[in-house]
Amino acid sequence: MDKKKKNSMDFGEFVDVFGNVIERCPLIAAKKKTQRPFSDLEDLKKHFFAFIDALPQKSQEGILRCHPDLAGSELRRGTLTAESQREQSAAGLTSLGADERLRLAELNAQYRARFGFPFVLAARFSDRAAVSRELARRLLCPSAQELRTALGEVKKIGSLRLADLLRADPAKL
């Protein structure tokens, strides 16, 4: 996507393109539109992530709660966003056996009960065994640390999605 095109997009177009960089949080893209122009991918990333960092803790937890469970009911019902579907698929979560699915569902439920938000992991960097392992490990972490870890994963997911969006356009930055 060339810089001129990105910066000349109207509001609706910008939110359509960047609205799911942070899962189901188009408001963040909408806010970023008002801060254009951006010089490059790093600049765009910096703006998205500074917005998240500046939020109060309750709102940061709200961002996490916009994420579906990994290998959860939304995947079964086919109601994931296209991005989440691709990422969960890349980690092999769309082809789990019944036992693996049950184990992940139990761990996801324990995690939610403990922290009040779903387990978020940049699934594209992972595989099905690593997802369960990491979930079991993070379940034991202190709450403040876990919030920081989870937000770090949101940023990794956002970085990958932004990079995809800009790569998809041959006249990128």
- Residue with Cβ nearer ligand GUN (15 or 154): 154
Q: Contact between 87 and ligand GUN (CB under 6 A)?
A: yes
Tokens 């709102």 correspond to: 59
Per this entry, what is the length of the chain?
Answer: 173
6, 32, 67, 161: which is the annotated catalytic residue?
Answer: 67
- Residue with Cβ nearer ligand GUN (9 or 52): 52
C-alpha distances (whole Å) from 10 to each of 13, 19, 36, 57 are 5, 13, 11, 31
- Cβ–Cβ < 8 Å for 121, 134: yes
Spatial separation of the C-alpha atoms in residues 78 and 62, rounded to whole Å: 23
Q: Contact between 32 and ligand GUN (CB under 6 A)?
A: no
Question: Which residues, at least 6 apart from 138, have a Cβ–Cβ distance to it below 8 Å?
Answer: 111, 119, 146, 149
Binds ligand GUN by CB under 6 A, chosen from 28, 29, 107, 121: 121
Q: Contact between 67 and ligand GUN (CB under 6 A)?
A: yes
Binds ligand GUN by CB under 6 A, chosen from 9, 122, 139, 166: 122
- Cβ–Cβ < 8 Å for 111, 138: yes
Binds ligand GUN by CB under 6 A, chosen from 25, 29, 70, 71: 70
Where in the chain does DSSP place strands (E)? none
Q: Contact between 118 and ligand GUN (CB under 6 A)?
A: yes
47 is a catalytic site residue = no
Tokens 């997911």 correspond to: 157
The window from 41-49, 52-60, 61-69, 136-144 that contacts ligand GUN (CB under 6 A) reads 61-69
Q: CB atoms < 10 A from the CB of 95, how many?
A: 9
- Residue with Cβ nearer ligand GUN (18 or 68): 68
In the complex, the residues that contact ligand GUN under the rule CB under 6 A are: 23, 67-70, 84, 87, 118-123, 157
Active site residues: 67
